[in-house]
Amino acid sequence: MSAIIVVGTQWGDEGKGKIIDFVSEQADMVVRHQGGNNAGHTVVSGDVVYKLHLIPSGILYPETDCVIANGVVVDPRVFLEEVEYLHQRGIGTERLRVSSEAHLIMPYHLVFDSLAEDRLGTQKLGTTLRGVGPAYMDKASRMGVRVGDLLQPEVFRDRLERVLSEKNHLLSKAYGRDQFDFEDMLEQYLAYGEQMRPYIANTSVVINRAIDAGKRVLFEGAQGTMLDIDHGTYPFVTSSHPIAGGACIGAGVGPTKIDAVYGVVKCYTSRVGDGPFPTELLDATGDAIRQEGQEYGTTTGRPRRIGWLDTVALRHAARVNGLTGLAVTRLDVLDHLDWIQIAVAYRYRGEVMTELPDSLEELSEVEPVLETMEGWKTSITGARRIDDLPAATRRYLDRIAELVGVPLALVSVGRERTNTIVLKPLF
Ligand code: GDP
Ligand code: IMO
Ligand code: MG
Protein backbone atom coordinates (compact mmCIF):
# COMPACT_ATOMS: atom_id res chain seq x y z
CA MET A 1 0.00 0.00 0.00
CA SER A 2 1.48 3.30 -1.00
CA ALA A 3 -1.23 5.92 -0.41
CA ILE A 4 -3.87 5.65 2.29
CA ILE A 5 -6.42 8.06 3.69
CA VAL A 6 -7.45 8.20 7.34
CA VAL A 7 -10.72 10.05 8.00
CA GLY A 8 -12.95 10.84 10.95
CA THR A 9 -16.30 9.05 10.64
CA GLN A 10 -18.32 11.03 13.19
CA TRP A 11 -18.38 14.68 14.32
CA GLY A 12 -14.63 15.02 14.82
CA ASP A 13 -12.41 14.21 17.83
CA GLU A 14 -12.56 10.49 17.11
CA GLY A 15 -8.91 10.08 18.10
CA LYS A 16 -7.49 10.67 14.61
CA GLY A 17 -4.35 12.28 16.06
CA LYS A 18 -3.48 9.17 18.05
CA ILE A 19 -4.20 6.79 15.14
CA ILE A 20 -2.32 8.93 12.63
CA ASP A 21 0.64 9.23 14.98
CA PHE A 22 0.63 5.44 15.41
CA VAL A 23 0.51 4.79 11.66
CA SER A 24 3.01 7.58 10.91
CA GLU A 25 5.81 5.43 12.21
CA GLN A 26 5.48 3.44 8.99
CA ALA A 27 4.75 6.42 6.75
CA ASP A 28 7.29 8.31 4.64
CA MET A 29 4.98 11.29 4.28
CA VAL A 30 1.90 12.63 6.11
CA VAL A 31 -0.35 15.14 4.37
CA ARG A 32 -3.06 17.43 5.71
CA HIS A 33 -5.46 18.39 2.96
CA GLN A 34 -8.44 20.27 4.44
CA GLY A 35 -9.61 22.34 7.37
CA GLY A 36 -7.43 24.68 9.34
CA ASN A 37 -6.55 25.28 12.95
CA ASN A 38 -10.14 24.49 13.90
CA ALA A 39 -8.74 20.95 14.27
CA GLY A 40 -7.27 19.79 17.55
CA HIS A 41 -5.23 16.59 17.46
CA THR A 42 -3.78 15.21 20.67
CA VAL A 43 -0.82 12.87 20.51
CA VAL A 44 0.72 11.25 23.57
CA SER A 45 4.33 10.19 23.29
CA GLY A 46 5.81 8.90 26.54
CA ASP A 47 5.30 11.60 29.14
CA VAL A 48 4.68 14.34 26.63
CA VAL A 49 1.25 15.38 25.36
CA TYR A 50 1.36 17.23 22.03
CA LYS A 51 -1.56 19.30 20.83
CA LEU A 52 -1.44 20.10 17.15
CA HIS A 53 -3.93 22.17 15.20
CA LEU A 54 -2.37 22.69 11.79
CA ILE A 55 0.85 20.76 11.34
CA PRO A 56 0.35 17.04 10.54
CA SER A 57 0.65 14.69 13.51
CA GLY A 58 3.42 12.83 11.62
CA ILE A 59 5.86 15.65 12.45
CA LEU A 60 6.80 13.87 15.69
CA TYR A 61 8.78 11.30 13.70
CA PRO A 62 12.12 12.73 12.52
CA GLU A 63 12.11 10.63 9.34
CA THR A 64 8.62 11.54 8.16
CA ASP A 65 7.97 14.29 5.61
CA CYS A 66 4.94 16.43 6.43
CA VAL A 67 2.83 18.47 4.04
CA ILE A 68 0.11 21.07 4.50
CA ALA A 69 -1.53 20.88 1.11
CA ASN A 70 -3.58 23.30 -1.00
CA GLY A 71 -6.96 22.43 0.52
CA VAL A 72 -5.98 23.63 4.00
CA VAL A 73 -6.65 27.20 5.12
CA VAL A 74 -3.53 28.48 6.84
CA ASP A 75 -3.34 31.15 9.51
CA PRO A 76 0.33 32.20 9.20
CA ARG A 77 0.47 33.38 12.80
CA VAL A 78 -0.74 29.97 14.01
CA PHE A 79 1.58 28.17 11.58
CA LEU A 80 4.63 30.01 12.92
CA GLU A 81 3.52 29.57 16.53
CA GLU A 82 3.12 25.84 16.00
CA VAL A 83 6.55 25.60 14.38
CA GLU A 84 7.95 27.38 17.43
CA TYR A 85 5.96 25.09 19.79
CA LEU A 86 7.62 22.08 18.12
CA HIS A 87 11.11 23.61 18.15
CA GLN A 88 10.77 24.30 21.87
CA ARG A 89 10.11 20.59 22.36
CA GLY A 90 13.11 19.61 20.28
CA ILE A 91 11.08 18.60 17.21
CA GLY A 92 12.58 19.68 13.89
CA THR A 93 10.46 21.07 11.07
CA GLU A 94 12.90 20.85 8.12
CA ARG A 95 10.70 18.15 6.62
CA LEU A 96 7.58 20.32 6.63
CA ARG A 97 6.14 21.85 3.45
CA VAL A 98 3.16 24.11 2.94
CA SER A 99 1.39 24.63 -0.36
CA SER A 100 1.77 27.97 -2.12
CA GLU A 101 -1.85 27.46 -3.24
CA ALA A 102 -3.28 27.11 0.27
CA HIS A 103 -5.52 30.02 1.21
CA LEU A 104 -4.67 32.28 4.12
CA ILE A 105 -6.82 32.89 7.16
CA MET A 106 -6.56 36.66 7.62
CA PRO A 107 -7.40 38.76 10.71
CA TYR A 108 -10.69 39.91 9.17
CA HIS A 109 -11.78 36.25 8.80
CA LEU A 110 -11.63 35.84 12.58
CA VAL A 111 -13.72 38.97 13.05
CA PHE A 112 -16.32 37.85 10.49
CA ASP A 113 -16.49 34.38 12.10
CA SER A 114 -17.48 35.98 15.43
CA LEU A 115 -19.82 38.50 13.84
CA ALA A 116 -21.69 35.74 11.97
CA GLU A 117 -22.08 33.67 15.13
CA ASP A 118 -23.26 36.71 17.13
CA ARG A 119 -25.86 37.55 14.53
CA LEU A 120 -27.17 33.96 14.45
CA GLY A 121 -27.77 34.12 18.21
CA THR A 122 -29.59 30.96 19.32
CA GLN A 123 -29.24 29.57 15.78
CA LYS A 124 -25.43 29.78 15.98
CA LEU A 125 -23.31 26.93 14.59
CA GLY A 126 -20.89 26.87 17.50
CA THR A 127 -17.84 27.35 15.26
CA THR A 128 -14.33 27.29 16.69
CA LEU A 129 -14.04 31.04 15.83
CA ARG A 130 -10.75 30.45 14.05
CA GLY A 131 -11.89 32.18 10.84
CA VAL A 132 -12.09 28.93 8.89
CA GLY A 133 -15.58 29.42 7.42
CA PRO A 134 -14.95 33.00 6.23
CA ALA A 135 -11.59 31.98 4.69
CA TYR A 136 -13.28 29.23 2.64
CA MET A 137 -16.03 31.71 1.70
CA ASP A 138 -13.42 34.04 0.25
CA LYS A 139 -11.76 31.15 -1.56
CA ALA A 140 -15.06 30.20 -3.21
CA SER A 141 -15.91 33.79 -4.04
CA ARG A 142 -12.44 34.33 -5.56
CA MET A 143 -11.54 36.90 -2.90
CA GLY A 144 -8.91 34.78 -1.20
CA VAL A 145 -5.26 35.51 -0.56
CA ARG A 146 -2.88 32.56 -0.87
CA VAL A 147 0.32 31.49 0.84
CA GLY A 148 2.36 31.95 -2.34
CA ASP A 149 1.17 35.56 -2.66
CA LEU A 150 3.18 36.38 0.46
CA LEU A 151 6.39 35.79 -1.47
CA GLN A 152 5.54 38.35 -4.15
CA PRO A 153 5.28 41.74 -2.42
CA GLU A 154 3.76 43.56 -5.40
CA VAL A 155 1.18 40.87 -6.08
CA PHE A 156 0.31 40.67 -2.40
CA ARG A 157 0.03 44.46 -2.02
CA ASP A 158 -2.33 44.59 -4.96
CA ARG A 159 -4.55 41.75 -3.83
CA LEU A 160 -4.66 42.82 -0.20
CA GLU A 161 -5.49 46.38 -1.15
CA ARG A 162 -8.52 45.28 -3.14
CA VAL A 163 -9.73 42.71 -0.63
CA LEU A 164 -9.15 44.84 2.46
CA SER A 165 -10.99 47.84 1.06
CA GLU A 166 -14.02 45.56 0.56
CA LYS A 167 -13.68 44.03 4.06
CA ASN A 168 -13.15 47.41 5.72
CA HIS A 169 -16.19 48.78 3.94
CA LEU A 170 -18.31 45.91 5.27
CA LEU A 171 -16.85 46.15 8.76
CA SER A 172 -17.50 49.84 9.17
CA LYS A 173 -20.67 50.29 7.12
CA ALA A 174 -22.53 47.06 7.84
CA TYR A 175 -21.28 46.25 11.33
CA GLY A 176 -20.07 49.59 12.74
CA ARG A 177 -16.68 48.07 13.55
CA ASP A 178 -13.16 49.49 13.36
CA GLN A 179 -11.33 49.13 10.07
CA PHE A 180 -8.01 47.32 9.67
CA ASP A 181 -4.95 49.40 8.73
CA PHE A 182 -3.74 48.37 5.29
CA GLU A 183 -0.04 49.27 5.69
CA ASP A 184 0.20 47.52 9.07
CA MET A 185 -1.34 44.34 7.73
CA LEU A 186 0.79 44.44 4.59
CA GLU A 187 3.98 44.76 6.57
CA GLN A 188 3.06 42.07 9.06
CA TYR A 189 2.02 39.52 6.43
CA LEU A 190 5.04 40.09 4.21
CA ALA A 191 7.15 39.44 7.30
CA TYR A 192 5.22 36.22 7.93
CA GLY A 193 5.86 35.28 4.30
CA GLU A 194 9.61 35.66 4.78
CA GLN A 195 9.48 33.40 7.85
CA MET A 196 7.43 30.84 5.95
CA ARG A 197 9.55 30.95 2.78
CA PRO A 198 11.64 27.82 3.50
CA TYR A 199 8.48 25.77 3.89
CA ILE A 200 6.54 26.94 0.83
CA ALA A 201 6.37 24.56 -2.14
CA ASN A 202 4.27 23.16 -4.96
CA THR A 203 2.96 20.37 -2.79
CA SER A 204 0.95 18.52 -5.44
CA VAL A 205 4.27 17.83 -7.18
CA VAL A 206 5.94 16.86 -3.90
CA ILE A 207 3.15 14.43 -2.93
CA ASN A 208 2.74 12.82 -6.36
CA ARG A 209 6.49 12.30 -6.67
CA ALA A 210 6.47 10.51 -3.35
CA ILE A 211 3.58 8.25 -4.36
CA ASP A 212 5.16 7.52 -7.75
CA ALA A 213 8.41 6.60 -6.05
CA GLY A 214 6.52 3.99 -4.01
CA LYS A 215 6.83 5.96 -0.76
CA ARG A 216 4.17 5.39 1.86
CA VAL A 217 1.94 8.45 1.98
CA LEU A 218 -0.71 8.96 4.65
CA PHE A 219 -3.47 11.52 4.16
CA GLU A 220 -4.53 12.83 7.54
CA GLY A 221 -8.16 13.92 7.80
CA ALA A 222 -9.26 16.66 10.15
CA GLN A 223 -12.83 17.02 11.48
CA GLY A 224 -15.19 14.18 10.55
CA THR A 225 -17.65 12.92 7.95
CA MET A 226 -20.68 14.37 9.73
CA LEU A 227 -19.04 17.80 9.58
CA ASP A 228 -18.47 17.57 5.79
CA ILE A 229 -20.01 20.53 4.00
CA ASP A 230 -21.79 18.26 1.48
CA HIS A 231 -22.25 15.00 3.36
CA GLY A 232 -22.60 16.18 6.95
CA THR A 233 -25.43 17.70 8.94
CA TYR A 234 -25.59 20.94 6.97
CA PRO A 235 -25.58 23.77 8.06
CA PHE A 236 -24.06 22.47 11.32
CA VAL A 237 -20.84 21.52 9.54
CA THR A 238 -17.42 22.89 8.81
CA SER A 239 -16.64 24.56 5.47
CA SER A 240 -14.37 21.91 3.97
CA HIS A 241 -14.50 18.27 2.86
CA PRO A 242 -13.30 15.97 5.64
CA ILE A 243 -14.41 12.92 3.63
CA ALA A 244 -11.94 10.81 1.65
CA GLY A 245 -12.72 12.50 -1.67
CA GLY A 246 -11.55 15.76 -0.09
CA ALA A 247 -8.03 14.38 0.09
CA CYS A 248 -7.76 14.21 -3.70
CA ILE A 249 -8.92 17.79 -4.23
CA GLY A 250 -7.14 19.14 -1.21
CA ALA A 251 -3.80 17.58 -2.11
CA GLY A 252 -3.87 17.57 -5.90
CA VAL A 253 -3.76 13.78 -6.14
CA GLY A 254 -5.93 11.69 -8.47
CA PRO A 255 -8.34 9.11 -6.99
CA THR A 256 -6.57 6.34 -8.92
CA LYS A 257 -3.53 6.86 -6.68
CA ILE A 258 -5.35 5.97 -3.45
CA ASP A 259 -5.08 2.40 -2.19
CA ALA A 260 -7.21 2.32 0.94
CA VAL A 261 -9.41 4.47 3.19
CA TYR A 262 -9.59 3.92 6.94
CA GLY A 263 -12.26 5.41 9.17
CA VAL A 264 -11.52 6.37 12.76
CA VAL A 265 -14.52 5.49 14.94
CA LYS A 266 -14.76 6.55 18.57
CA CYS A 267 -16.66 3.70 20.27
CA TYR A 268 -19.29 6.17 21.43
CA THR A 269 -20.15 9.55 19.89
CA SER A 270 -19.17 13.09 20.76
CA ARG A 271 -20.00 16.41 19.21
CA VAL A 272 -18.71 19.87 20.04
CA GLY A 273 -20.81 22.65 18.59
CA ASP A 274 -24.49 22.81 17.80
CA GLY A 275 -26.77 20.72 15.58
CA PRO A 276 -28.78 17.49 15.72
CA PHE A 277 -27.32 14.51 17.58
CA PRO A 278 -29.74 11.54 17.60
CA THR A 279 -27.95 9.38 20.19
CA GLU A 280 -27.10 12.23 22.59
CA LEU A 281 -27.10 11.31 26.29
CA LEU A 282 -28.29 14.17 28.44
CA ASP A 283 -28.17 12.09 31.62
CA ALA A 284 -25.75 10.78 34.23
CA THR A 285 -24.36 8.15 31.81
CA GLY A 286 -23.38 10.92 29.38
CA ASP A 287 -21.78 12.89 32.22
CA ALA A 288 -19.89 9.81 33.39
CA ILE A 289 -18.48 9.13 29.91
CA ARG A 290 -17.52 12.80 29.51
CA GLN A 291 -15.73 12.67 32.84
CA GLU A 292 -14.05 9.33 32.28
CA GLY A 293 -13.02 10.27 28.73
CA GLN A 294 -12.08 13.87 29.64
CA GLU A 295 -14.20 14.97 26.71
CA TYR A 296 -13.34 18.66 26.50
CA GLY A 297 -12.39 20.28 23.18
CA THR A 298 -8.67 20.37 22.31
CA THR A 299 -9.13 23.64 20.43
CA THR A 300 -11.77 25.52 22.40
CA GLY A 301 -11.93 23.67 25.73
CA ARG A 302 -15.72 23.31 25.40
CA PRO A 303 -17.35 20.27 27.07
CA ARG A 304 -18.16 17.81 24.29
CA ARG A 305 -21.72 16.51 23.93
CA ILE A 306 -21.76 12.74 24.43
CA GLY A 307 -23.95 9.95 23.02
CA TRP A 308 -24.03 6.24 22.21
CA LEU A 309 -22.40 4.90 19.09
CA ASP A 310 -24.56 5.66 16.05
CA THR A 311 -24.16 3.01 13.36
CA VAL A 312 -26.68 4.72 11.06
CA ALA A 313 -24.27 7.66 10.83
CA LEU A 314 -21.36 5.21 10.52
CA ARG A 315 -22.94 3.36 7.58
CA HIS A 316 -23.32 6.74 5.91
CA ALA A 317 -19.62 7.37 6.62
CA ALA A 318 -18.71 3.93 5.22
CA ARG A 319 -20.58 4.74 2.02
CA VAL A 320 -19.46 8.32 1.34
CA ASN A 321 -15.84 7.55 2.18
CA GLY A 322 -15.66 4.08 0.63
CA LEU A 323 -14.13 2.82 3.88
CA THR A 324 -11.94 -0.27 3.64
CA GLY A 325 -11.18 -0.63 7.37
CA LEU A 326 -12.06 0.76 10.78
CA ALA A 327 -9.85 2.04 13.59
CA VAL A 328 -11.98 1.93 16.74
CA THR A 329 -10.73 4.18 19.56
CA ARG A 330 -11.29 4.86 23.26
CA LEU A 331 -12.68 1.45 24.16
CA ASP A 332 -11.10 1.78 27.61
CA VAL A 333 -13.32 4.78 28.35
CA LEU A 334 -16.29 2.37 28.56
CA ASP A 335 -14.49 0.00 30.99
CA HIS A 336 -16.68 0.88 33.95
CA LEU A 337 -20.11 0.57 32.31
CA ASP A 338 -22.51 -2.30 33.20
CA TRP A 339 -24.07 -2.11 29.77
CA ILE A 340 -23.56 -0.20 26.56
CA GLN A 341 -26.06 0.85 23.93
CA ILE A 342 -25.59 1.13 20.22
CA ALA A 343 -27.98 2.73 17.70
CA VAL A 344 -28.80 0.27 14.92
CA ALA A 345 -31.50 2.37 13.21
CA TYR A 346 -33.66 5.45 13.71
CA ARG A 347 -37.39 5.76 14.24
CA TYR A 348 -39.09 8.68 12.50
CA ARG A 349 -42.80 9.25 13.12
CA GLY A 350 -43.30 5.55 13.85
CA GLU A 351 -41.27 4.27 10.90
CA VAL A 352 -37.89 2.56 11.14
CA MET A 353 -35.11 4.14 9.06
CA THR A 354 -31.82 2.40 8.40
CA GLU A 355 -30.21 5.18 6.33
CA LEU A 356 -29.30 8.65 7.51
CA PRO A 357 -32.10 11.02 6.44
CA ASP A 358 -31.01 13.71 4.01
CA SER A 359 -33.14 16.35 5.73
CA LEU A 360 -31.85 18.06 8.84
CA GLU A 361 -35.42 18.53 10.07
CA GLU A 362 -36.00 14.76 9.96
CA LEU A 363 -32.64 14.07 11.60
CA SER A 364 -33.57 16.49 14.40
CA GLU A 365 -36.76 14.51 15.06
CA VAL A 366 -35.55 10.89 14.86
CA GLU A 367 -35.28 8.63 17.90
CA PRO A 368 -32.49 6.07 17.94
CA VAL A 369 -33.39 2.36 17.89
CA LEU A 370 -30.99 1.07 20.53
CA GLU A 371 -29.55 -2.37 21.08
CA THR A 372 -28.16 -3.11 24.55
CA MET A 373 -24.91 -4.98 25.02
CA GLU A 374 -23.18 -6.20 28.11
CA GLY A 375 -20.23 -4.17 29.44
CA TRP A 376 -16.87 -5.77 30.33
CA LYS A 377 -16.27 -4.09 33.69
CA THR A 378 -12.52 -4.49 33.72
CA SER A 379 -9.54 -2.45 32.60
CA ILE A 380 -8.50 -3.25 29.01
CA THR A 381 -5.70 -0.68 28.59
CA GLY A 382 -3.06 -3.40 28.94
CA ALA A 383 -4.41 -5.45 26.01
CA ARG A 384 -1.94 -5.82 23.13
CA ARG A 385 -3.65 -8.47 21.03
CA ILE A 386 -7.30 -8.93 20.20
CA ASP A 387 -7.33 -12.16 22.23
CA ASP A 388 -6.30 -10.20 25.33
CA LEU A 389 -9.68 -8.44 25.28
CA PRO A 390 -12.62 -9.79 27.32
CA ALA A 391 -15.29 -11.65 25.35
CA ALA A 392 -17.82 -8.83 25.91
CA THR A 393 -15.40 -6.27 24.40
CA ARG A 394 -14.83 -8.48 21.37
CA ARG A 395 -18.60 -8.91 20.94
CA TYR A 396 -19.00 -5.13 20.97
CA LEU A 397 -16.26 -4.69 18.38
CA ASP A 398 -17.61 -7.46 16.15
CA ARG A 399 -21.08 -5.96 16.32
CA ILE A 400 -19.72 -2.57 15.23
CA ALA A 401 -17.96 -4.11 12.22
CA GLU A 402 -21.07 -6.11 11.35
CA LEU A 403 -23.47 -3.16 11.59
CA VAL A 404 -21.18 -0.83 9.64
CA GLY A 405 -20.24 -3.50 7.11
CA VAL A 406 -16.51 -2.70 7.25
CA PRO A 407 -13.78 -4.88 8.86
CA LEU A 408 -11.73 -3.80 11.87
CA ALA A 409 -8.10 -2.83 11.27
CA LEU A 410 -6.98 -1.15 14.52
CA VAL A 411 -8.34 -0.99 18.04
CA SER A 412 -7.18 1.66 20.50
CA VAL A 413 -7.42 0.97 24.23
CA GLY A 414 -5.56 3.98 25.62
CA ARG A 415 -3.88 7.26 24.73
CA GLU A 416 -0.33 5.94 24.33
CA ARG A 417 1.14 4.56 21.13
CA THR A 418 1.55 1.21 22.83
CA ASN A 419 -2.15 0.99 23.69
CA THR A 420 -3.00 -0.11 20.17
CA ILE A 421 -4.06 -3.50 18.79
CA VAL A 422 -3.33 -4.16 15.13
CA LEU A 423 -5.66 -6.56 13.32
CA LYS A 424 -4.54 -5.51 9.85
CA PRO A 425 -1.55 -3.23 9.18
CA LEU A 426 -2.70 -0.05 7.44
CA PHE A 427 0.31 0.05 5.08
P1 GDP B 1 -8.89 14.04 16.96
O2 GDP B 1 -9.38 15.44 16.79
O3 GDP B 1 -9.70 13.05 16.22
O4 GDP B 1 -7.43 13.90 16.72
O5 GDP B 1 -9.12 13.71 18.50
P6 GDP B 1 -8.73 14.64 19.74
O7 GDP B 1 -7.26 14.58 19.91
O8 GDP B 1 -9.39 15.97 19.66
O9 GDP B 1 -9.46 13.87 20.91
C10 GDP B 1 -9.23 12.54 21.16
C11 GDP B 1 -8.70 12.36 22.58
O12 GDP B 1 -8.75 10.97 22.88
C13 GDP B 1 -7.25 12.75 22.81
O14 GDP B 1 -7.14 13.30 24.09
C15 GDP B 1 -6.47 11.43 22.74
O16 GDP B 1 -5.30 11.43 23.50
C17 GDP B 1 -7.49 10.50 23.30
N18 GDP B 1 -7.43 9.12 22.84
C19 GDP B 1 -7.23 8.63 21.59
N20 GDP B 1 -7.38 7.30 21.57
C21 GDP B 1 -7.68 6.94 22.85
C22 GDP B 1 -7.97 5.70 23.48
O23 GDP B 1 -8.01 4.64 22.87
N24 GDP B 1 -8.25 5.74 24.81
C25 GDP B 1 -8.25 6.89 25.53
N26 GDP B 1 -8.53 6.82 26.82
N27 GDP B 1 -7.98 8.07 24.97
C28 GDP B 1 -7.72 8.10 23.64
P1 IMO C 1 -10.84 17.70 14.81
O2 IMO C 1 -9.91 17.64 13.63
C3 IMO C 1 -14.77 18.63 16.39
C4 IMO C 1 -16.97 21.90 14.50
C5 IMO C 1 -17.24 23.12 15.35
C6 IMO C 1 -18.59 23.54 14.77
C7 IMO C 1 -18.42 23.26 13.28
C8 IMO C 1 -18.00 24.45 12.45
O9 IMO C 1 -10.18 17.98 16.10
O10 IMO C 1 -11.71 16.49 14.83
P11 IMO C 1 -15.67 25.71 12.16
O12 IMO C 1 -14.82 26.43 13.15
O13 IMO C 1 -14.99 24.57 11.49
O14 IMO C 1 -16.34 26.63 11.16
O15 IMO C 1 -16.88 25.10 13.05
O16 IMO C 1 -17.42 22.25 13.19
N17 IMO C 1 -15.55 21.49 14.39
C18 IMO C 1 -15.04 20.44 15.03
N19 IMO C 1 -15.58 19.60 15.94
N20 IMO C 1 -13.51 18.44 15.99
C21 IMO C 1 -12.96 19.24 15.06
O22 IMO C 1 -11.74 19.01 14.51
C23 IMO C 1 -13.71 20.33 14.58
N24 IMO C 1 -13.47 21.32 13.69
C25 IMO C 1 -14.61 22.01 13.58
O26 IMO C 1 -17.33 22.79 16.70
O27 IMO C 1 -19.60 22.70 15.24
MG1 MG D 1 -9.92 17.09 17.89
pLDDT digits (tens, 9 = 90+) for 209-242: 999 999 999 999 999 999 999 999 999 999 999 9
The protein residue with its alpha carbon nearest to ligand 2, atom 25, reads 38
Confidence band, pLDDT 50/70/90 cuts, at residue 299: confident
Confidence band, pLDDT 50/70/90 cuts, at residue 301: confident
pLDDT of residue 180 exceeding 90: yes
pLDDT of residue 71 exceeding 70: yes
What pTM, to 2 d.p., does this model score?
A: 0.97
Which residues fall within 8 angstroms of residue 370, CB to CB, at 6 or more apart? 279, 308, 341, 342, 343, 344
Q: List, as ranges, residues with CB under 5 A of the ion ligand 3.
A: 13, 40, 298
* Residue 238: inside a domain: yes
Do 179 and 215 fall within a single domain?
no
Do 90 and 124 fall within a single domain?
no
Digit-coded pLDDT (tens) for 123-161: 899 999 999 999 999 999 999 999 999 999 999 999 999
CATH number at residue 173: 1.10.300.10
CATH number at residue 293: 3.90.170.10
Does ligand 2 come within 6 angstroms of the Cβ of 8?
yes
pLDDT of residue 197 exceeding 70: yes
pLDDT of residue 73 exceeding 90: yes
* Residue 136: inside a domain: yes
* Residue 410: inside a domain: yes
Do 370 and 229 fall within a single domain?
yes
Do 59 and 148 fall within a single domain?
no
The protein residue with its alpha carbon nearest to ligand 2, atom 13, reads 238
pLDDT of residue 300 exceeding 90: no
Query: DSSP letter string over 47-79?
Result: TEEEEESSS-GGGGSTT-EEEE-TTBEE-HHHH
Does ligand 2 come within 6 angstroms of the Cβ of 227?
yes
Do 67 and 119 fall within a single domain?
no
Alpha helices in 280-371 (DSSP H): 284-292, 311-321, 360-365
Do 137 and 253 fall within a single domain?
no
pLDDT, position 249: 98
Domain boundary among 182, 199, 216: 199
Does ligand 1 come within 6 angstroms of the Cβ of 297?
no
Three-class secondary structure of residue 20 per DSSP = helix
* Residue 282: inside a domain: yes
* Residue 265: inside a domain: yes
Cα of 221 from ligand 2 centre, angstroms:
12
Measured from the CA of 224, which atom of ligand 1 is nearest? 3
Do 192 and 79 fall within a single domain?
no
* Residue 427: inside a domain: no
Question: How large is the average pLDDT for residues 234-253?
Answer: 98
Please tell me the number of the ligand nearest to residue 327's CA. 1
Question: How large is the average pLDDT for residues 239-262?
Answer: 98
Which residues fall within 8 angstroms of residue 194, CB to CB, at 6 or more apart? none
Eight-state DSSP code of residue 80: H
The amino acid occupying position 164 is L
Do 63 and 171 fall within a single domain?
no
Do 314 and 355 fall within a single domain?
yes
Confidence band, pLDDT 50/70/90 cuts, at residue 80: very high
The protein residue with its alpha carbon nearest to ligand 1, atom 13, reads 42
Confidence band, pLDDT 50/70/90 cuts, at residue 1: low
Please give the mean pLDDT across all residues of the chain: 96
Eight-state DSSP code of residue 173: I
Cα of 68 from ligand 2 centre, angstroms:
18
* Residue 400: inside a domain: yes
Which contiguous run of DSSP H or E holds residue 245? helix 244-251
Cα of 299 from ligand 3 centre, angstroms:
7
User: What residue numbers bound the domain in which 174 lies?
Assistant: 103-199
The protein residue with its alpha carbon nearest to ligand 1, atom 11, reads 15
Domain boundary among 172, 199, 226: 199
Digit-coded pLDDT (tens) for 266-283: 999 999 989 999 999 999
Split into its structural domains, the chain has a count of: 2
pLDDT of residue 318 exceeding 90: yes
pLDDT, position 393: 98
Just list the catalytic residues.
Answer: 13, 41
Confidence band, pLDDT 50/70/90 cuts, at residue 243: very high
Measured from the CA of 414, which atom of ligand 1 is nearest? 24
Q: Which of 63, 43, 49, 149 has the alpha carbon at shortest distance from 99?
A: 149
